[in-house]
Amino acid sequence: MIIREWTEKDLATVAILEHACFEDPWTMDMIKGEFGRMDFCGSIAEEDGKPIGFLCGTLLFEDAEIAKVAVLKEYRGKGYGRQLVEEFFDKVKANGARRIFLEVRPSNEAALHLYQSNGFHKLRLRKRYYADGEDALEMMKDLYPDD
Ligand SMILES: CC(C)(COP(=O)(O)OP(=O)(O)OC[C@H]1O[C@@H](n2cnc3c(N)ncnc32)[C@H](O)[C@@H]1OP(=O)(O)O)[C@@H](O)C(=O)NCCC(=O)NCCS
Ligand 1 centroid from CA 71, angstroms = 8
- Neighbouring residues of 45: CB distance < 8 A, sequence distance ≥ 6: 1, 2, 3, 51, 52, 53, 54, 55, 71, 80, 83, 84
Q: Which domain holds residue 125?
A: 2-142
Determine whether the shortest distance from the Cβ of 81 to ligand 1 is under 6 A: yes
Number of domains into which the chain is organized: 1
Ligand 1 centroid from CA 34, angstroms = 23
CB contact at 8 A, 106 and 119: no
pLDDT in tens, the chain (147 residues): 999 999 999 999 999 999 999 999 999 999 999 999 999 999 999 999 999 999 999 999 999 999 999 999 999 999 999 999 999 999 999 999 999 999 999 999 999 999 999 999 999 999 999 999 999 999 999 999 998
Determine whether the shortest distance from the Cβ of 80 to ligand 1 is under 6 A: yes
Does residue 147 form part of some domain?
A: no
Does residue 15 form part of some domain?
A: yes
Sequence-ordered alpha helix ranges (H) in 26-79? 28-35
CATH code for position 32: 3.40.630.30
